[in-house]
Structure 1
């Protein structure tokens, strides 16, 4: 199972909430004997008979019975382990059962019935392991961000009041300048502390691969010249510093767009650029884009789509991903969190293609 499909399943599982502890989550790591798992589930089924509330007891017993039935059909735990979720809504009678082999090894043996499904171990698997840290710094403001797959996260925004230049001249001028320099120095130290706090744990976990630094004028160079940032983080700072005019999320987006090849492997940067290209062709009305499910499918079948844009909220994301790959198109899944992602989903039903050449029908 690929990570995109797993994200879709997790999204569905998170919708389930119960008034009692009746939703069953089971994680089986590689190498765990099936007989051990079945013994545990059968013991839990016998204990469930002691639950006083009949509706809760029946729901838990049904969940355990489903789990026993599914697991008993597996002769051996797969190489990456096995995960199972099952439960029901007693009020509506609606039920759900999901059994899957995850994209990474199951790290722990875990069983629980609860008011929610425990998806935290799987969420670790879909959290990006190829993150890029982002820092915009100037003498009185800074933005710390993270680029994770097709998502941009603003981690923290910092600011301080640094006065402008003094105009009196003489010793008063020099004294005033020293005060200002110390204020800037103190702010840079503060920024460095917050950068270390945000990025060092990710670096130690092996998730943070690079840091991109930007900002207006020379502040970014002044900041990087000294050791405000931990030396381990400085080793992965990309050599090109980016000129940006804004702080906050707009500044981070501007920096990502200007970074060019430095971020060529980052999905978020790719989707931003692809969406900009789509809008460019849309404005020119030059016949180089296609939208509408039937029109996109026909263009894919003809091998004319170079890039396929898919909104992540569509229920058939996996189907379009498969079709794009079979027809030689590059699929990009657009998060609603991406700038104009919601506009794309609402206006074009979350599906469009950028073409290799104009279509002549």
Structure 2
């Protein structure tokens, strides 16, 4: 790898634009200097991204990131381009299990996906099925026959829509695990029995579940009511652990804590059974050191989109007024997880795609814990 990079550095002399040539050579030099710290490649390989980015006001900055992926990176790729090649890593982040969701009655229907713990609504349809009361002048038998024809046509319309949406899913045969159908009785049973879905979907029907709503809101209700059939799915596990935390929280002697300071103290005591972290957390844990070497401080800072640590004013040393600089930096999730590992604490990353998950971030600051015992913190 380093041999190729050195060769590429030499090839940069052929780049006509002086600015582009300088940017590329600076990026390659930065990569080579960072690779010196690796005696051997990480277990799953590594992805190195380095380049000059525009930070506004005609100013640029050299950014260099080395990522160790969660899964083996079975590809060697070198790209010199105006954009970073992210697809191999994005594929690892994609949900491994996908379910199709259908909610329907004789008036309307809605389809969507359950991707990991995230519900993704897609599209709905409405019917022209007449009500049970016939208009004057129509015979009862003829009216019922026309109504059954309309119902059948609507079921076919739903089946065509669901088949179109679900079969278009990337890597369908590897990732698509099944179809959940929700609705009142006997509508959902009629839909299944009529085999209105494509045969690849029909054989993947997981089950039929009662729901009160058949619009977009019904998708969440369907997932909730299908929890027993989806016990291994992330969203069900996340809901269960969040409900356990909330139950402990309302008890007079409940073993629960929330907020970074309280949870951190309990982690240091080894009192945390399960650490709950919102996937919306955007914070860094910093070790700040005075330039004169007489002061050290640990501080957590929030990182809003587009905000960099180098843009933050840390103030001055409270001892001598010297400049504070960042000696160590880590993501708050990584830092708390490492602290949890020291006492064999389970760690759950909670999405905000359901009510309790959203509450973890908005009401509890994105950090909470179920305790092994109460500590007073």
SS in 2 for 1:294: helix
The Cα of 1:343 is off from its aligned counterpart by: 4.3
Matched, 1:313 2:329: no
Instruction: Give the equivalent residue in structure 1 for 2:28.
Output: 64
Return the structure number with greater strand share.
2
The offset of 1:56, in angstroms, is 2.7
| Paired residue total | 324
Give the distance between the partners of 2:197 and 2:160, measured in 1 at CA: 7
Instruction: Identify if the C-alpha distance between structure 1 residues 158 and 42 changes in structure 2 by more than 3 Å, giving closer, same or farther.
Output: farther
Partners in 1 of 2:243 and 2:126 — Cα distance?
31
Deviations 1:139-186 (A, max 9, x none): 232222222223221233232332211335896222222222222222
Shift of 1:86: 0.8
Structure 1 or 2: larger helix share? 1
Given that 1:310 and 1:352 are in contact with CA atoms closer than 8 Å, whether structure 2 keeps it comes out as: yes
What is the CA deviation profile of residues 29-71 of structure 1, one whole-angstrom value per residue up to 9, with x for unaligned ones? Answer: xxxxx47xx33x4454344334444333211221123334555
Cα distance, 1:233 vs structure 2: 2.2
* 3-state secondary structure, aligned to 1:309: strand
> What residue number does 2:368 align with?
352
Matches within 5 A, 1:282-297: 282=249, 287-297=254-264
Write out per-residue CA displacement over residues 206-244 of structure 1, whole angstroms, 9 at most, x where no aligned residue: 1122322212232111111122112222323224x2211
SS of the residue corresponding to residue 355 of structure 2 reads coil
> Which residue number corresponds to residue 315 of structure 2?
none
Name the SS of the counterpart of 1:114 in structure 2: coil
1:248: how far off? 4.2
Please, which runs of 5 or more residues in structure 2 have no aligned partner?
Answer: 284-331
Distance in 2 (alpha carbons) for counterparts of 1:348 and 1:256: 25
**Do the aligned residues in 1 keep the contact of 2:249 with 2:257 (CA within 8 Å)?**
no
Structure 2 equivalent of residue 124 of structure 1: 91
Query: Are residues 276 and 252 of structure 1, via their aligned partners in 2, closer, same or farther at CA, if it must alter by over 3 Å?
Result: farther
Aligned to 1:86: 50
Residue of structure 1 equivalent to 2:242: 275
Which residue is equivalent to 1:209? 177
- Structure 1 residue aligned with 2:187: 219
Instruction: State the TM-score, normalizing by the size of structure 2.
Output: 0.73
SS at structure 2 position matched to 1:99 = strand
Distance 2:345 2:226 in 1: 24
Q: 1:188·1:223 contact (CA, 8 Å) conserved in 2?
A: yes
TM-score, length basis structure 1: 0.76
**1:253 and 2:220 equivalent?**
yes
* Aligned counterpart, 1:232: 200
For residues 1-361 of structure 1, what are the structure 2 equivalents within 5 Å?
Answer: 34=1, 38-39=3-4, 41-70=5-34, 80-89=44-53, 91-92=58-59, 94-167=61-134, 172-200=139-167, 201=169, 204-239=172-207, 241-282=208-249, 287-302=254-269, 304-314=271-281, 315=283, 316-339=332-355, 341-355=357-371, 358-359=374-375
C-alpha contact 1:83 1:101 (8 A) present in aligned 2: yes
Judge conservation of contact 1:166–1:173 (CA < 8 Å) in 2: no
Displacement of 1:97 in angstroms is: 2.0
Deviates most, 121-130 or 171-180: 171-180
The RMSD of aligned alpha carbons is 3.2
> In 2, Cα distance between the equivalents of 1:251 and 1:169?
35
